[in-house]
Structure 1
Amino acid sequence: METSKKDKKNHLTRFHYTVEQVIEKPFNWKQMLRLLTYLKPYAKSYLPAAIIAMLVSTFVRLAVPILVGKVAIDIAILNKDTTLLTWLVVIIGCLYLLSYLANVLRIKWVNQLGQNVIYDLRHHLFSHVQRLSHGFFDHRSAGSILVRILNDINSLQELFTNGIINLLMDSITLIGIMVILFVLSPKLAIAVLIVLPIMFYISTKLRRNIRRSWQKVRINQSRMNSHLNEAIQGMRITQSFSQERENAEFFDGVNKGFFHSFRDAAKKSALFRPFVDMSDAVGTIILIAFGSYLILLGEANGGIAIGTFVSFAYFTGMFWEPISRLGQMYNQLLMAMASSERIFEFLDERPNVKEKENAYVFQNMKGHIQFERVQFSYNQDRIALHEISLNIEAGETIALVGHTGSGKSTIANLISRFYDPTEGAVKIDGKDLRDVELASLREQISVVLQDTFIFSGTIMENIRFGRPDATDEEVIEAAKVVGADDFIKRLSNGYATEVEERGNILSAGERQLLSFARALLANPRIIILDEATASIDTESEMKIQQALKRLLKGRTSIIIAHRLSTIREADKIFVLENGKILESGNHQTLIAERGKYYELVKSQFTMLDAL
């Protein structure tokens, strides 16, 4: 236990070290501009409308203090002009009503703008991730990908719904106030705003620490969500090994990491508002002291009128509010930058398997497969295939056998072009797969894996997954052919039965039968069965073997199997070891040669006899 805790502690230390390396990056304005390009589709609709509404409400805020101070006090009240005063009350009331309507519309439009941008960004990221090659998913957990698509994009919501418009509004308000203050009284304006340079100097010092803290929060949150996803998906394993307490302890460490980082970031961010309030207090004291002196001095001697002082008091009170919001907006930008870095990291990923422009589109694939001196490696340290040459005729059934790691599944992956060969070429009907449109290739290949994936939805929807336009009758017929119809009818709602995530209500054999029906309904020219019968009992396997004899006829079929009894009738069998082909031939030929295949068959049947 002590060793485990020590390892976890060391892991956390390495994690924090990584964070420190990341957070030293400067604020990336180029990246922020890239983020703002998602506003472009709405540049002629919601965005200008929201900006106009914002300008109207900002104009009202700036106009009212001038009307109150310079007109109402210095003219109407001093001259006892009740008519002008009445008109001013009506005008100011109408202006506030106009401001209210403008604010309602602004809030409505910016929310519509923000929600549309978030929708577009999430759609873009998910669509992009779907197009990435298998190599991308080989090195990333599902949890880390979920965090980018959900949490990181959600953290941008406040920026797009309120942040951008508020930033414009507060900036215009600040500039407007400063211009008006200097027009009203340059002396008093300089005196009141003298605290600004000090404030900006200190706030600049705070920004780096605040940005660091929010980046640390994002990474801690990502780590916690990744662990949660892994823990929930592996709950059966956790419980079967009675590791609930250890799992809870590790999650507690991750949770505390997020808790402490968020508390630290919130604490540093919270320092900004009191600092602004203190600056406001200092400015107010200067206003009262120096403003009173200028009033007593009189306008004739370079002083100010009472109305000017009242307007100044209004604007000074308004001045610090947008500064405070801009400080909060900066925190928002820091959070957005931390998230956008992670989002654009995925968006900048490019598929290892690239599709050429004007790629060849398969119209009538025959299914003739050729491997020409193919070499492939998942990484530089280990070569998975060594100069493999294969020739699989159209409609031929071949089998790949060998120990785990011999390269069988790699060959299947290259046929579907989930990866490209490092050297050599893989061809179908004489066409190099690197010159072929991916969709037209994969539409004519069905793959059935040992660990089949069942989606949430009905049985009917799962079978129809590879061919959405198939009729109910075609779905049922495919299920009947593979022997799945019997158990489906016994379910509570038959083909309309809802299956949970990953098909947990079904047995392993039933899930495999559904995957057979799904693959066969797609009517492919090439079928790849990767340990597809491993989870099916002997009785079901016999039924499937009979069905496959009919269904594989006329199609090119690649069968990967450890259970050698399932491949006896294959046209050709390739025996692989360490990425090389040792033997090839049909069952009888290889048995007669008494080589590697003979040893595999003999050892397997010896184990069965021992049982």
Structure 2
Amino acid sequence: MSGGRNMRRHGMGGPAGGSGEKAKDFGKTMKKLISYMGRYKWGILTVLIFAVGSTVFHVIGPKVLGKATTKIFNGLTGKLSGGPGIDFAGIGKILILLLTLYGVSALFSFVQGLVMTSISQKVSFRMRKEMSEKINRLPMNYYDTKTHGEVLSRITNDVDTLGQSLNQSITQMITSVTTIVGVFIMMLSISPLMTVLAVLILPVSMTMISFIIKRSQKFFRQQQEYLGHINGQVEENYSGHTVIKVFNREEEVLREFNETNGMLYQSAWKSQFFSGMMQPVMQFVGNLGYVAVAIVGGFLTIRGTIEVGDIQSFIQYVKNFTQPITQMAQVSNMLQSTAAAAERVFEFLEEPEEDQMVENPSSIADIQGNVTFDHVKFGYRPDKIIINDFSAEISAGKKIAIVGPTGAGKTTLVKLLMRFYDVNGGSIKIDGKDIRSFNRSELRELFGMVLQDTWLFKGSIMENIRYGKLDATDEEVIAAAKAAHAHHFISTLPDGYEMELNEEAGNVSQGQKQLLTIARAILADNKILILDEATSSVDTRTEERIQKAMDNLMKGRTSFIIAHRLSTIRDADLILVMKDGDIIEQGTHEELLEKKGFYAELYNSQFEKTA
């Protein structure tokens, strides 16, 4: 049912990154990205050198080829007037030189491509690594306001977009700028007049490109944003498909998906449409340049100002002059996607973290397990307090039961104890030390936890139980499974302890999952135990056996038990009865029944319903 809870909490689309999100800051994001790539500066410098070298050798080519054309033209015209004819030896030398130039250009291009691919993949690897590590440092309230798919989209789609666009955009940008400069110099060396005509194309091109980029930027941002929403919906629909079917919500889910998918479609086709406009616009402008060069070039050749081969070279240069402008336009388009993806990645990496370390932290060595709640006040939102004034003294080794109606604050109390959230007022102490004086990671080493929502990962049963103590031997794992009464059912499974659990451990029952998580907690052997509805998913007979195992496990350990079935906590040393965030009664089972108060009412209501 976890998928159902997620859907209720997030409303299927999730609040993250909604349509009201502020406009992205392209310049600021690109500065961050450049700074982030600072450690790869030598690699980028290598790319720069080889990309420039490749372009220079390639740019020289057309002028050299023009010399060959001139020799052929002069040879033919000379032969008609009785000359020696075509100089094939001279043309051969020119072609060999041309082949060498293009060969060196291709080699340089290969090297810069290899280095740039390596850099882009290192950036992607580093981002994924940092985001993976970031996940463990984020506070719980981050996950309460974001869908799983939204986070996954940033790690997968956005990082992939960054890696691919970096690999292409940086080299294309370097090559395009170098080509424009090189071609401009070569055109000036042939004819300043024709160069002026070719350069007049630029204002027209830049005006059109600027118009297209301004129109397309917001659509690229929306495309990345709604892609994240689609991922969130698909992930939740898939994980919660049973809940969707049970409540006949297929049509509603499909309607919500189609709505988001429609938004993605609208932003995607608009961004791709504007992106596709670049090429035809630049080709049109380029063709205007060809016409101008052909007319003026023919006139200059007749006058003897330039040679025939120079016209051919210049036409190639005009093409090479407009092509990098087109590439730069495409790169600019690509950078919109890069900026949108980078902003989402950096937003994630810059999310406020839990303060993992404290100055002069308290040591967890020799902790006995005495727990004090001192006038605790807490709310998930400061303006909505749900625990108003909670105080309790719990001695080490005691078995404490926390009971109360749904929403009373039972599970919230446990989250505060483990510092998933910090209190708004008051304090929680372990052996007299405020839990905020411990490093979070060390504090949580004190706790073993079994939740109502089981969590198992893809892997063998042995590996899942060993998760509680990574250096445990096989014998210790099996002993823990026996203590949790899981050994019998494990032995009946194909491959026993080596059986592979699939995604979400769907090839074992809910009750069996619970037994495995209990075995994991037993193996961890922590000072303080937290059991949140730990036996709610098993049958009555198995529950009785687990209770016996739990009784042995809890000896000498402070144990917090959250239970709705009050019959399972009758032997607790202390029962805390919560209502609306406050303890309204406390005592043993017999003492509370004698008071005939709220606990007695809760306890007796179970049997009334059964009757």
Fold shared by both chains (TM-score > 0.5): yes
The CA distance in 1 between the partners of 2:578 and 2:121, in whole Å, is: 54
- Find the counterpart in structure 1 of residue 4 from structure 2: none
Q: Which residue of 2 aligns with 1:42?
A: 40
In structure 2, the partner of 1:64 is: 61
Contact 2:56–2:178 at 8 Å: present in 1 too?
no
> What's the CA shift string for 1:367-405, capped at 9, x where partnerless?
222222110000134212112122222222111111111
Q: Aligned to 1:156, which of 137, 162, 183?
A: 162
Distance 2:182 2:420 in 1: 59
TM superposition shift of 1:430: 2.4
- Letter of the 1:222 partner, please give it: G
Q: Would the aligned equivalents of 1:455 and 1:499 in 2 still touch at CA under 8 Å?
A: yes
Partner secondary structure for residue 380 of structure 2: coil
User: Mean alpha-carbon deviation: is it higher for 494-503 or for 85-94?
Assistant: 85-94
> In the alignment, is residue 593 of structure 1 matched against residue 595 of structure 2?
yes
- Amino acid aligned to 1:56: G
Aligned positions of 1:391-402 closer than 5 A: 391-402=393-404
Q: Is 1:131 paired with 2:137?
A: yes
Once the two structures are overlaid, the 10-residue window that deviates more, 508-517 or 366-375, is 366-375
Q: Name which of 348, 351, 359 aligns with 1:346.
A: 348
Distance 2:505 2:307 in 1: 80
Which of 178, 181, 202 in structure 1 is aligned with 2:184? 178
Q: What does residue 121 of structure 1 align with?
A: 127
Higher mean alpha-carbon deviation, 75-84 vs 550-559, is at: 75-84
1:129, CA displacement in angstroms?
2.1
CA distance in 2: counterparts of 1:219 and 1:453, whole angstroms: 30
Residue 81 of structure 2 is matched in structure 1 by none
Give the 3 Å change call, closer, same or farther, for CA 77–473 of structure 1 in structure 2: farther
**How is 1:207-226 mapped onto 2 (pairs within 5 angstroms)?**
207-226=213-232
The one-letter code matched in structure 1 to 2:440 is L
Over aligned residue pairs, what C-alpha RMSD do you find?
2.5
Which moved further from structure 2: 84-93 or 208-217?
84-93
Check the 8 A contact 1:375/1:386 in 2, yes or no.
yes
1:318 Cα deviation after fit: 1.0
Does the CA contact (< 8 Å) of 1:23 and 1:212 recur in 2?
Answer: no
Which of residues 262, 266, 278 in structure 1 aligns to 2:268? 262
1:103-150 CA-partner distances (Å, limit 9, x unpaired): 233332222222221111122112212210111111111121111111
* Aligned-residue offset at 1:283: 0.7
SS in 2 for 1:419: coil
Matched, 1:501 2:503: yes
Shift, 1:344, TM fit: 1.9
1:156 counterpart SS class: helix
Shift in Å, 1:72: 7.5
Structure 1 residues not aligned, in runs of 5+:
1-10
2:8 is matched with which residue? none
Please point out which of 161, 165, 183 is paired with 2:171.
Answer: 165
Equivalent residue number for residue 202 of structure 2: 196
- Structure 1 match to 2:559: 557
Q: 1:105 aligns with which of 94, 100, 111?
A: 111
Is 1:385–1:578's contact at 8 Å kept on the other side of the alignment? Answer: yes
TM-score (norm. length: structure 1): 0.91
Distance (Å, rounded) in 2 between the aligned partners of 1:386 and 1:250: 38
SS of the residue corresponding to residue 591 of structure 1 reads helix
Q: How many residues align?
A: 590
Say if 2:65 and 2:95, in contact at 8 Å, map to a contact too. no
Q: Is residue 326 from structure 1 mapped to residue 328 from structure 2 by the alignment?
A: yes
Q: CA contact under 8 A between 2:592 and 2:600: conserved in structure 1? A: yes
d(CA) in 2 for partners of 1:76, 1:120 = 58
Write out per-residue CA displacement over residues 267-319 of structure 1, whole angstroms, 9 at most, x where no aligned residue.
Answer: 12111111100110011111111222222333xxxx43444433322211211
Deviations 1:224-256 (A, max 9, x none): 222211211111122223333443344333333
| C-alpha displacement of 1:24 | 4.8
Structure 2 letter corresponding to 1:503:
A
Summarize the alignment of residues 168-567 of structure 1 with structure 2, pairs less than 5 Å apart: 168-298=174-304, 303-351=305-353, 355-567=357-569
Say whether the 8 Å CA contact 1:526–1:556 is kept in structure 2.
yes
Change (3 A) 1:161 1:416: same
1:15-65 C-alpha deviation (Å, 9 max, x unpaired)? 9x964x65754x522211212334334333x43443333222112112222
Distance 1:565 1:22, change over 3 A: closer
Matched to 1:134, the amino acid is M
2-structure distance, mates of 1:390, 1:397: 13
Structure 1 pair 442–252 and aligned structure 2 pair: CA distance change class (3 A): same
Q: CA deviation at 1:412?
A: 0.5
Mapped contact 2:68–2:95 kept (Cα < 8 A): no
Give the SS at the match of 2:608: helix
Conserved 8 A contact 1:38-1:120: no
Asked if the contact 1:74–1:305 (Cα under 8 Å) also holds between the matched residues in 2, the reply is: no
Q: What is the match of residue 55 of structure 1?
A: 52
| Structure 1 residue 421, shift from structure 2 partner | 0.4
Task: Give, in angstroms, the shift of residue 489 of structure 1.
Answer: 0.5
C-alpha spacing 1:75/1:248, structure 2 compared with 1 (3 Å): closer
Matches of 1:523 and 1:540, distance apart in 2: 22
Amino acid at match of 1:520: I
- Cα distance in 2 between the residues matched to 1:488 and 1:220: 44
AA aligned opposite 2:279? R
User: Which one-letter code corresponds to 2:532 in the other structure?
Assistant: D
Distance 1:18 1:143, change over 3 A: closer
CA gap of 1:77–1:441, structure 2 versus 1, over 3 A, is farther
Q: Distance in 2 between matches of 1:451 and 1:157?
A: 37
Q: Which is further off, 542-551 or 430-439?
A: 430-439
Q: Cα deviations across residues 184-224 of structure 1 (Å, max 9, x unaligned)?
A: 43222111111211221122111111112222222222222
* CA contact 1:174–1:319 (8 Å) conserved in 2: yes
Unaligned runs of 5+ in 2: 1-10, 76-83
1:235 alignment partner AA: H
Secondary structure at 2:590 match in 1: helix
> Hey, what's the Cα distance between the residues in 2 that align with 1:382 and 1:357?
31
User: Offset at 1:576?
Assistant: 0.9
Matches of 1:81 and 1:22, distance apart in 2: 69
* Aligned residue type for 1:67: V
What SS is found at the alignment partner of 1:89?
Answer: helix
Matches of 1:577 and 1:484 in 2, distance apart? 35
- The structure-2 alpha-carbon separation of the partners of 1:23 and 1:421, relative to structure 1 and needing over 3 Å to count, comes to closer
Please report how far the alpha carbon of residue 456 of structure 1 lies from its aligned counterpart in structure 2 after TM superposition. 1.5
Distance 1:173 1:22 in 2: 39
What SS does structure 2 have at the residue aligned with 1:558? Answer: strand
CA contact (8 A) 1:353 1:418 kept: no
One-letter code aligned to 1:193 = V
Amino acid at match of 2:285: S
How big is the shift at 1:353? 5.2
Shift of 1:490: 0.7
d(CA) in 2 for partners of 1:376, 1:175: 65
What's the % identity of the aligned pairs?
34
Task: Confirm or deny: 8 A CA contact 2:166 2:338 kept in the other structure.
Answer: no
How far 1:601 sits from its partner (Å)? 1.5
Q: 2: CA distance between counterparts of 1:492 and 1:475?
A: 18
